[in-house]
Amino acid sequence: MRKGSCSEEVCFDLLNQLEHLLESDPLIDEVGFIHPSQFTLLDKESGSVTDGSSPNISSGISSCSLESRVMKHSQALLLLSLDFGTAWNARKLILSKQDQPLEAFTEELRLSKLVLSNCPKSEPTWSHRRWIIKMISRSFPTPQLQEIITKESELVESIGERSKMNYRAWYHRCWLVSYMTTEQVNHSLQFLMARTFEHWL
């Protein structure tokens, strides 16, 4: 074993702890990283006990259970490696199945927002958000879509304020225009004009 590497058991234990933290608080809206040695302390504080056992995905589990595990494990993987295209694509494949509730898509927006809190210039994450919005626009009523578009505009404004040279965020904002109402477009133009005026001052 190479110096600095860890055993499979330790790796799964760390993964289980990260997943427990994500599941224990569904309102987490920002992520950062700490040294792995601090996970044990966090685990004790949350009252969780992990057994370190690794899941055996090939042990005859049902398709539904497998999809649930893919969604659970991929969210942790994406927080650690946000450009992992296979993980994003696996989530898309599962979400593409018929009769997905709106909550499944809004949860996906929440996860990608969490990823963007750590890396606001992640192109795969912005691309995934556009895919989710397209799916919502095809399957759900206009009022629900417009509420999501409003929140999406607010997210871009927030990220744009912290990272003014974030081309990906501003491209996403331009892309959103095709889903906006006239009122939302006017609001966006007023916001951009106000920001431009502030910059000139």
pLDDT, one tens digit for every residue, the chain (201 residues): 444 556 777 777 767 777 777 777 776 666 665 555 565 666 676 665 444 444 443 344 566 788 888 898 889 889 888 888 899 999 999 999 878 899 999 999 999 999 999 899 999 999 999 999 999 999 998 889 999 999 999 999 889 888 778 899 989 988 999 999 988 888 877 776 666 656 565
What whole-number distance in Å separates Cα of residue 80 and Cα of residue 73?
Answer: 11
| DSSP one-letter code for 6 | -
Q: State residue 40's pLDDT score.
A: 67
Residue recorded with tokens 């994003």 = 88
Q: At what angle do helices 85-95 and 102-118 cross, to 10 degrees?
A: 160
HSE-CB of 25 using CA atoms within 13 angstroms:
11
Q: State residue 101's pLDDT score.
A: 93
Is the Cβ–Cβ distance between 22 and 73 less than 8 Å?
A: no
Burial class (CB in 10 A: 0-12, 13-18, 19+), 130: middle
Q: State residue 53's pLDDT score.
A: 43
Q: State residue 13's pLDDT score.
A: 75
CA 19, 93, 86, 168 dihedral sign is: negative
Q: State residue 55's pLDDT score.
A: 42
The long-range contacts involving 147-156, CB below 8 angstroms and separated by at least 24 positions, are: 148/106, 148/109, 149/176, 149/179, 149/180, 149/184, 150/184, 152/109, 152/176, 153/180, 153/184, 153/187, 153/188, 155/113, 155/116
Is the Cβ–Cβ distance between 188 and 177 less than 8 Å?
A: yes
| DSSP one-letter code for 140 | S
> pTM to 2 decimals?
0.69
Written as six digits, the tokens of 15 are 């993964």
